[in-house]
């Protein structure tokens, strides 16, 4: 249930409603909004009849939240949430580009990549230090050394960094270095990881699982919100289908659908979504056209030598062209880039 209060509601009136719902076994959460006070009662108890709450002093409206995800829903919060990574706003008027290699391999690679993508207009640097690899024999990432490289490159370039956290054991470590913690597709339903990340105060980039419905994605986001972390950015990165001309099938219809039912911003990752360098530019154009709040793009100065995901990595000059086209397209959908 979501309860909106009158503009002049008193603290006592608010507390009376909160107390009533808590007594019924609900957790009561206040929407992070600048306007009128909005509360949500979440939990698995039996909600009181709406009328009973509506007649309480100070209450303007009480409505059920029809979706199974409550705090992530637009019924709870009507304005799109703007999430900050460093000083970069995701979910505002700008389409934000995050770019960098799949995995951090060396300082030289990161410095080169970061300088190039920054010059083209990327606002956030990506790169994995802990990599979720299908084979245990594949390069697993540089670990903390990779995080240190990221932090040094942030110093040099001013670009905030997003990097993946693989497990509960390394949450504190990764959080020490990163400006935004990425939860990969394979971990979207790692509920103990989500709960722990919900208790951190770092923004989370939550990628859609490769066979997850949008409801499952939003319920995973709900784990983060339910623990008190509202800084959540979603990411569509393609799902598994019978189609085998691309690595995954990029489900661009997820963008307007999620934007209708949730207030959380959503990015598109056409790199993992297609797995093919030549497909990244056209799908990036489509993602901007469909209303994505940003793009996550893999870029490598020498893709042929990349230790992971080389076939989908753009050369820096290809990223520059992508950025040029994104800048032309963004105004068509009322955005900037």
For the CB of residue 192, give the shortest distance to ligand PEP in the complex, in Å.
Answer: 18
Cβ nearer to Mn ion, comparing 225 with 299: 299
Count CB neighbours of 125 within 10 A: 26
Q: Do residues 236 and 251 make contact, with C-beta atoms less than 8 angstroms apart? A: yes
Stretch 221-250 residues interacting with Mn ion (CB under 5 A) = none
For the CB of residue 296, give the shortest distance to Mn ion in the complex, in Å.
Answer: 10
Q: How many residues does the chain have?
A: 337
Q: Do residues 269 and 280 make contact, with C-beta atoms less than 8 angstroms apart? A: no
* Stretch in the footprint of ligand PEP (CB under 6 A) among 69-77, 112-120, 142-150, 180-188: 180-188
In the numeric block, the tokens 């309860």 are attached to 3
Cβ nearer to ligand PEP, comparing 210 with 281: 210
Region for 101 from its dihedrals, namely left if φ exceeds 0, alpha if ψ lies in -120 to 50, beta otherwise? beta
In the numeric block, the tokens 């911003």 are attached to 265
Stretch 265-324 residues interacting with Mn ion (CB under 5 A) = 309
Instruction: Please identify which residue in 39, 102, 214, 218 interacts with Mn ion, judged by CB under 5 A.
Output: 102
Tokens for 319, please give them. 């990223």
Cβ nearer to ligand PEP, comparing 75 with 113: 113
Q: How many helices (H) and strands (E) does the chain have?
A: 11, 14
For the CB of residue 163, give the shortest distance to Mn ion in the complex, in Å.
Answer: 12
Q: Are strands 88-90 and 83-85 parallel, antiparallel or unpaired?
A: antiparallel
Cβ nearer to ligand PEP, comparing 200 with 312: 312
Q: Is 272 in the site for ligand PEP (CB under 6 A)?
A: yes
Cβ nearer to Mn ion, comparing 103 with 200: 103
* Stretch in the footprint of ligand PEP (CB under 6 A) among 58-66, 171-179, 183-191, 313-321: 183-191
Q: Is 132 in the site for ligand PEP (CB under 6 A)?
A: yes
Q: Is 185 in the site for ligand PEP (CB under 6 A)?
A: yes
Q: Is 184 in the site for ligand PEP (CB under 6 A)?
A: yes
* Stretch in the footprint of Mn ion (CB under 5 A) among 97-105, 193-201, 217-225, 257-265: 97-105
Q: What is the DSSP letter of 114?
A: H
Count CB neighbours of 168 within 10 A: 14
Q: Do residues 298 and 109 make contact, with C-beta atoms less than 8 angstroms apart? A: no
Cβ nearer to ligand PEP, comparing 53 with 210: 210
Stretch 98-117 residues interacting with ligand PEP (CB under 6 A) = 102
What burial class does residue 60 get, using C-beta atoms within 10 Å of its C-beta: 0-12 exposed, 13-18 middle, 19+ buried? middle
- For residue 83, the cross-strand partners are 90
d(C-alpha 256, C-alpha 270), whole Å:
16
The footprint of Mn ion (CB under 5 A) covers: 102, 309
The footprint of ligand PEP (CB under 6 A) covers: 102, 128, 132, 184-186, 207, 237, 272
């Amino acid at each position: 249930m979501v309860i909106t209060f009158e503009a002049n509601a008193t603290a006592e009136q608010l507390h009376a409603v909160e107390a009533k719902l808590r007594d019924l076994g609900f957790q009561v959460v206040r929407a992070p909004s600048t306007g009128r006070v909005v509360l949500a009662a979440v939990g698995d108890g039996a909600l009181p009849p709406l009328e009973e709450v509506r007649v309480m002093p100070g209450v303007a409206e009480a409505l059920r939240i029809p979706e199974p995800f409550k705090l992530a829903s637009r019924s709870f919060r009507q304005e799109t949430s703007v999430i900050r990574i460093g000083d970069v706003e995701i979910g505002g008027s700008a389409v934000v580009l995050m770019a960098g290699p799949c995995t951090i391999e060396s300082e030289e690679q990161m410095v080169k990549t970061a300088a190039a993508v920054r010059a083209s207009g990327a606002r956030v640097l990506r790169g994995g230090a802990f990599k979720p690899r299908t084979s245990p024999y594949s390069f697993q990432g540089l670990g903390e050394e990779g995080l240190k490289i990221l932090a040094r490159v942030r110093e040099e370039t001013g670009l905030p960094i997003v990097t993946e956290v693989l497990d509960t054991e390394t949450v504190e470590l990764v959080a020490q270095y990163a400006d935004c913690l990425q939860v990969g597709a394979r971990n979207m339903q790692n509920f103990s990881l989500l709960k722990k990340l919900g208790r951190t105060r770092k923004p989370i980039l939550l990628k859609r699982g490769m066979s997850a419905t949008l409801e499952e994605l939003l319920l995973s986001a709900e784990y983060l919100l339910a623990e008190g972390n509202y800084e959540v950015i979603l990411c569509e990165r393609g799902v598994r289908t019978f189609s085998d001309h691309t690595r995954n099938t990029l489900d661009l219809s997820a963008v307007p659908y999620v934007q209708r039912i949730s207030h959380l911003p959503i990015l598109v990752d056409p790199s993992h979504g297609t797995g093919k360098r030549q497909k990244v530019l056209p799908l990036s154009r489509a993602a901007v056209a469909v209303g994505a709040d940003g793009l996550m793009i893999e870029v490598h100065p020498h893709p042929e030598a990349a230790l992971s995901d080389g076939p989908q990595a753009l050369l820096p000059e290809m990223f520059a062209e992508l950025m040029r086209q994104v800048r032309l397209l963004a105004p068509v959908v009322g955005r900037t880039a």
